[in-house]
Structure 1
């Protein structure tokens, strides 16, 4: 997973011009080999406490729930605007490794295994949607709530 972070950091770098010199390409290649979350010019600790109050299982009616996972990790990038994030979500049942991006206070992460793919999206104001897609079935569980 460690090689994905340098590639993602370079992918988040905005294009400055149409033409690229050989020196610029060499510099970018060198940066891709050394830039990681640990060496990124800008780093930020990620911590969100979530409170989901609605659970929807596949095509059944949604029900009330009390699901409170915690997301912790680190974000890194070339500036504070957009960061690549490596995090984990801890629940009573499991711990899931997640990768994604943050822009301002918004956060989008995904991860898990082939058997259970997880995706969580947190908006600027904390409104959050979390889904788990299970290969066996297949079926999906969705959660509605907030993360702060």
Structure 2
């Protein structure tokens, strides 16, 4: 019984002397339903600092533009907040870094009806293009 009491007392002492864990800071807007990283373009008009755990508790989702990273301490909370349909079973994915690179903008395939040639002045030709991308004059 003395050993159990001593063990519990040691655990309590360790818990009391452990350094405080800093919560990950994310940002929300006055009207939005997403949480953002510090550099996100959607924080131009309003920027309210909040912890990640509080944002998840209030029902905020991650912004798809800045894709704020989840730090190791908050990973368990974020994992609980992620629906089972979104969880991946892939074990080969790398761990998220603390500051991810901004995602590359999606490239859309576009077909232009404007001529792709340049005029003598160096400006783009304003005529309509045929199937090969050039007007009648620049064939």
TM-score bracket, shorter-length normalisation: under 0.3
Question: What's the TM-score, normalizing by structure 2?
Answer: 0.22
- Bigger CA radius of gyration: 2
Structure (1 or 2) with the greater strand fraction:
1
Between 1 and 2, higher relative CO (CA 8 Å, sep ≥ 6) is seen in 1
Structure (1 or 2) with the greater helix fraction:
2
Question: What's the TM-score, normalizing by structure 1?
Answer: 0.22
